[in-house]
Amino acid sequence: MSTNSLNVSQQLKSILPLILWMLAASVSCQTLKQDSVMPTTTIRFIPETFNDLKVGAFHGGRNPCSPMSPEKATSYLMNETLINVPEKIILPSSVPLESIKPIIPVCVASVFTARRGAKYAHLSEGVFHIRKTDSEHWFKGIIYEELWDEGEMPGPAPDEEVVEKRRKEREKQIAKAQQYTDDELNEGNFSGEYRNLNLMQYVDMPFEPGVYELYYSALGIESNRVQVEIVCLPFF
C-alpha cells in the first residue's frame, strides 16, 4: 500500500467518530424539534356558535346556543325545561383522548313555579342523564352547587340568625305545598333561568366517539331528549 493511501485511511479513521457523532446529534435535534411541537388539543363544535360558549355554574344567561334562540324560552315555558347541545363534537385524532379536556356543553332553559319548587324540594338538584344510543346503560350526574371563591361572593354572607329564619320559612312552604295537585302547581309566582354547563363536569363516564342521547331533569320534570355525536377527525 502506498504512503498516500495509508495517510488517507488513517485520516478517515480519525474523523469517522466525529462524522458519526454529528449525524447522531443531527438526528437527535430533529427528533427534539418534532417532539417539542405538541398538537393543539382543541375541541370544535357544530354549530360553530358553541365554540364561543362559556360554560360553568357562574356563566349562566341567555345566548345564541340557548334553547329556542333567538326567542326568549322563559317567555313560553311553565314548569318546563328545555336543553340544547351541539350536533357534533369534533376531536383531533392526532391527540390521545386522555390528554383532551372532556366537554359536552349543555344549555338549559327552565321555568318553575314556587309551588312546584316547594312540593318537589327533595328533587331540587338538577340531574344529567346520558347514554350511548347503542347501549341501554344510562350514566347520571347530579349538578352540585358550586361555591364562590373567598373574596368573590357578591355581597356579605347572611348571619346564622337570618339563615335559620329562612330555613324555618322554607319548611313551612314545603309542608303547605304538599296539598297542591299538579294542576295547582302551575299557579302563583314563578321564575326562569338559563344555565350553560359542561355535562362532563358532573357525569363520570368515558369521553369517547359515539352518538349519545341525553336529557336533564329537575323538580320532577324531564327536559326534551337530544342527541350529540362525538367524532375524531385528522385535520387538526
Which tens digits make up the pLDDT trace of 29-44?
232 223 333 333 589 9
Q: What is the pLDDT of residue 195?
A: 95
pLDDT class of 15 with cuts at 50, 70, 90: very low
Query: Do 132 and 169 reside in the same domain of the chain?
Result: yes
CB atoms within 10 A of CB 62: 20
Query: Do 27 and 63 reside in the same domain of the chain?
Result: no
Of 38-42, 71-75, 87-91, 184-188, which range is least confident? 38-42
Q: What is the pLDDT of residue 156?
A: 66
Contact 190, 118 (CB under 8 A): no
The residues pairing with 111 across neighbouring beta strands, listed in sequence order, are: 80, 192
d(CA 8, CA 14): 10
Q: Which residues contact 113 (CB under 8 A, 6 or more apart)?
A: 78, 79, 185, 186, 187, 188, 189, 190
Which range marks the domain in which residue 26 is found? 1-37
Query: Do 141 and 31 reside in the same domain of the chain?
Result: no
Return the beta strands (E) in 114-170 as ranges: 127-132, 139-142
Instruction: Supply the mean pLDDT for the chain.
Output: 81
Query: Do 96 and 189 reside in the same domain of the chain?
Result: yes
42 vs 84: which has the higher pLDDT: 84
Q: Mean pLDDT over residues 131-140, rounded?
A: 97
* CB-neighbour burial class of residue 96 (10 A; exposed 0-12, middle 13-18, buried 19+): exposed
Query: Do 81 and 152 reside in the same domain of the chain?
Result: yes
Query: Do 53 and 6 reside in the same domain of the chain?
Result: no
157 vs 63: which has the higher pLDDT: 63
Q: What is the pLDDT of residue 120?
A: 95
Query: Do 33 and 127 reside in the same domain of the chain?
Result: no
Query: Do 19 and 83 reside in the same domain of the chain?
Result: no
Query: Do 11 and 55 reside in the same domain of the chain?
Result: no
Q: Is the pLDDT of residue 134 over 60?
A: yes
Query: Do 142 and 187 reside in the same domain of the chain?
Result: yes
Q: Mean pLDDT over residues 47-76, rounded?
A: 93
Of all residues in the chain, what percent carry a pLDDT higher than 90?
A: 59
Query: Do 49 and 121 reside in the same domain of the chain?
Result: yes
Nearest Cα to 174, choosing from 118, 109, 90? 118
Query: Do 55 and 129 reside in the same domain of the chain?
Result: yes
Q: Mean pLDDT over residues 187-201, rounded?
A: 95
pLDDT class of 166 with cuts at 50, 70, 90: confident
Q: What is the pLDDT of residue 41?
A: 52
Q: Is the pLDDT of residue 185 over 70?
A: yes
Q: Which cell numbers hold the place of 200?
A: 362532563
Contact 65, 49 (CB under 8 A): yes
Q: What is the pLDDT of residue 25?
A: 33
Count of domains forming the chain: 2
Q: Mean pLDDT over residues 13-23, rounded?
A: 41
